[in-house]
């Protein structure tokens, strides 16, 4: 129903049998691992990722030693430090982590998060002047700064040192910062290019702590060494919400971070979890789709610093107040988004045959990233959604696998088609003049045409398992969950159930469809499958699930556990339907 080509993911039977024998796995677990290409030597770390096995020496990163020396000097001399962060979740978690770290060792530190609407992304010369006038001696940028040439030049003129901690793709010419720690520097050889900025910030904290121990700082100041493991909950949050691959070290960050989050030690996260009604063991779903959007809401439509303040506060009353504000801003964000999405999708449909989609309007810039993601999922193409205000276009871009939007924008910048721009392969952004949009669209079309085969390949989707309606069980969920945490690079397994009919279906929450599916329309043989199809009212899926004429179909989706009134049962979250026949 969603114009996808569904295929069963291949799992070599020899490997399945080997994994079952050597690691005492069930056939389902072994098949899932074999189909993901997990090598035998990596299997133990994949199934049980521990930091002590996966943590690198932080000093292997370029400029880490130089940055640590400058930071420890600032600590020893009592210099005022500013953490300058981005307004998204990675920026909020990175800045909160470093604030908590520096506070724990008695340093004078403050956080600066720019206003998305008034100041835009990253540090500016004006911001550097403000910090200098406040007596700041050291600025540490997190999740930004890798391309902030003018701001860092302005800081240098003020004798204000800047350490950049970032993970965005860099140019071959770097800003003239005191130090730049970025696994995606072009001259960097690290294997840890998949880290979010919060992951890099965590490594920086480890390196600084190590140096302070060598300097006998904690003994001399009679200060307890900070337990950095307590920060893993916000490391996990930033990693998942920035859609970083859940492989290697990131997998350990998230696995251990979820355990830490379950202890509810971070007062801000506890308050936000309560207001979002999270009453079960936290998962990547909660990070990416429940907590993340609320933290992001401050930067999108409200006050950009709220997320960082929430994650770093030690006051329960302040935490509850900040969580309530973020909840209110998230409701505003959803209302704004609902008013834009229909118009944007109609414009996108007119470009459905193009190699990329670019739509623009006088839209709120705080929600265009979400709109871009929705359009990408609908059309399976690279997408740029542009907010045009006073002749200036600000865009959020989302790409498909195999097409690097960030590098394409770097080329567009070299051709003066955009004023600023860059980002990741899958998510990027730019600013340009309104009159340049048509020429930029032609350039993107020309560039992405080179990747037409890769773009088309994104319509091919794979499911992991074929099961029967009787196979839906808590035991199946537990076997699938052996591979958690799930996210980018380790997607949650998808199952396919053939030969289903609708026994009962009804709309819930205005946009979703709850249903009972059975393998025999007339005889109610076997177990009914409880299922839900989110955001499907008004789509072809609604026409099938609510139609008395619908014949047999296959349901494709993910197996979840639903907790209701003390009862726990498996539920299929429907991703798509494949019709066998319509009467």
Averages of pLDDT over runs of 10 residues in the chain (583 residues) are 90 94 94 92 93 97 98 97 95 98 95 87 94 97 95 97 94 94 96 97 98 96 95 98 94 97 96 93 94 93 93 97 96 91 94 96 93 92 96 95 91 92 87 95 96 89 94 95 93 95 91 92 75 91 85 93 84 93 48
Helices (H), ranges, 134-215: 149-157, 197-214
pTM of the model: 0.89
Question: What pLDDT does residue 571 have?
Answer: 96
Contact present, 138 and 204 (Cβ < 8 Å) = no
> Would you state the structure tokens that stand for residue 46, as one six-digit string?
């994949």
Peptide bond connecting 94 to the previous residue in cis, omega within 30 degrees of 0:
no
Residue 402: CB atoms within 10 Å: 13
Beta bridge partners of 388: 393
Distances (CA, A) of 100 to 169, 218, 312: 27, 16, 6
Phi, psi of 209 (to 5 degrees): -60, -45
Are 544 and 1 spatial neighbours (Cβ–Cβ below 8 Å)? yes
**Cα(544)–Cα(281) distance, rounded to whole angstroms?**
34
Fold matches, 58-326 and 461-579: no
Structure tokens that stand for 38 in this block: 């997990």
Domain 461-579 in this protein, CATH class = mainly beta
Architecture of the 350-457 domain: Roll (3.10)
Question: Burial, 531: exposed, middle or buried (Cβ in 10 Å; 0-12, 13-18, 19+)?
Answer: buried
Which long-range contacts does 418-423 make (Cβ < 8 Å, 24+ apart)?
Answer: 420/147, 422/147, 422/168, 422/169, 423/168, 423/169, 423/397
Question: Which residue in this structure is represented by tokens 């200060």?
Answer: 223
Extract the tokens encoding 325: 């504000």
**Which pLDDT does position 539 carry in this prediction?**
87
CA atoms within 13 A on the CB side of 288: 17
**Positions of E strands within 335-408:** 357-361, 383-389, 392-398
Q: What is the pLDDT of residue 525?
A: 62
Q: Is-contact 53 45, C-beta < 8 A?
A: yes
Return the pLDDT at 425.
Answer: 86
Enter the CATH code of domain 58-326. Answer: 3.90.1640.30
Domain boundaries, the chain: 58-326, 350-457, 461-579
Residue 115 has what pLDDT? 87
Residue 548: the pLDDT is 74
């Amino acid at each position: 129903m969603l114009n996808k080509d569904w295929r069963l993911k291949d799992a070599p039977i020899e490997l399945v049998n080997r994994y079952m024998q050597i690691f005492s796995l069930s056939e389902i677990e072994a098949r899932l691992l074999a189909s993901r290409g997990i090598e035998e030597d990596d299997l133990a770390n994949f199934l049980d990722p521990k930091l002590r096995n996966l943590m690198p020496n932080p000093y292997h990163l370029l400029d880490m030693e130089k940055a640590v020396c400058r930071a420890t000097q600032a600590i020893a001399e009592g210099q005022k430090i500013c953490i300058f962060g981005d307004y998204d979740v990675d920026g909020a978690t990175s800045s909160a982590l470093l604030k908590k770290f520096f506070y724990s060792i008695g340093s004078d530190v403050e956080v600066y998060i720019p206003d998305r609407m008034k100041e835009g992304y990253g540090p500016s010369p004006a911001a550097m002047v403000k910090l200098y006038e406040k007596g700041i001696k050291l600025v540490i940028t997190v999740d930004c700064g890798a391309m902030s040439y003018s701001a860092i030049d302005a800081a240098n003129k003020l004798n204000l040192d800047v350490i950049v901690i970032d993970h965005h793709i860099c140019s071959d010419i770097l800003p003239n910062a005191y130090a730049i720690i970025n696994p995606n520097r072009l001259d960097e050889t690290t294997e840890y290019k998949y880290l979010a900025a919060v992951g890099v910030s965590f490594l920086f904290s480890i390196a600084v702590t190590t140096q302070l121990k060598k300097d006998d700082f904690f003994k001399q100041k009679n200060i307890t060494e900070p337990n950095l493991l307590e920060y893993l909950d916000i490391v996990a949050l930033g990693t998942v919400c920035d859609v970083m691959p859940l492989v290697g070290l990131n997998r350990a960050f998230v696995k251990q971070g979820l355990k830490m989050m379950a202890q509810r030690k971070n007062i801000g996260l506890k308050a936000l979890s309560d207001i979002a009604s999270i009453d079960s063991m936290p998962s990547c779903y909660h990070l990416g789709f429940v907590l993340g959007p609320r933290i992001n809401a401050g930067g999108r439509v409200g006050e950009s610093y709220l997320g960082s303040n929430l994650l770093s506060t030690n006051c329960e009353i302040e935490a509850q107040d900040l969580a309530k504000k973020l909840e209110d801003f998230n409701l505003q964000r959803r209302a704004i988004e609902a008013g834009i999405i229909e118009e944007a999708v109609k414009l996108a449909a007119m470009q459905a045959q193009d190699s990329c989609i670019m739509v623009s309007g006088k839209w709120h810039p705080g929600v265009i990233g979400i709109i871009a993601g929705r359009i990408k999922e609908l059309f399976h193409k690279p997408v740029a959604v542009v907010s045009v205000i006073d002749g200036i276009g600000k865009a959020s871009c989302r790409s498909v696998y195999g097409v690097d939007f960030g590098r394409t924008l770097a080329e567009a910048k070299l051709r003066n088609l955009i004023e600023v721009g860059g980002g990741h392969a899958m998510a990027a952004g730019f600013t340009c003049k309104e009159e340049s949009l048509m020429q930029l669209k032609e350039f993107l079309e020309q560039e992405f045409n080179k990747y037409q085969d890769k773009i088309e390949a994104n319509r091919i989707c794979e499911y992991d398992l074929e099961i029967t309606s009787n196979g839906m069980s808590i035991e199946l969920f537990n076997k699938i969950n052996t591979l958690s945490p799930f996210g980018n690079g380790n997607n949650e397994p998808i199952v396919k159930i053939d030969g289903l009919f609708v026994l009962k279906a009804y709309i819930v929450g205005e946009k979703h469809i709850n249903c009972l599916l059975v393998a025999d329309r007339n005889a109610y043989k076997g177990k009914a499958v409880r299922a839900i199809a989110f955001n499907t009212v008004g789509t072809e899926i609604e026409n099938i699930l609510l139609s008395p004429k619908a014949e047999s179909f296959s349901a494709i989706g993910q197996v979840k556990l639903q907790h209701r009134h003390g009862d726990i049962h498996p539920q299929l979250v429907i991703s798509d339907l494949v019709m066998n026949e319509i009467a």
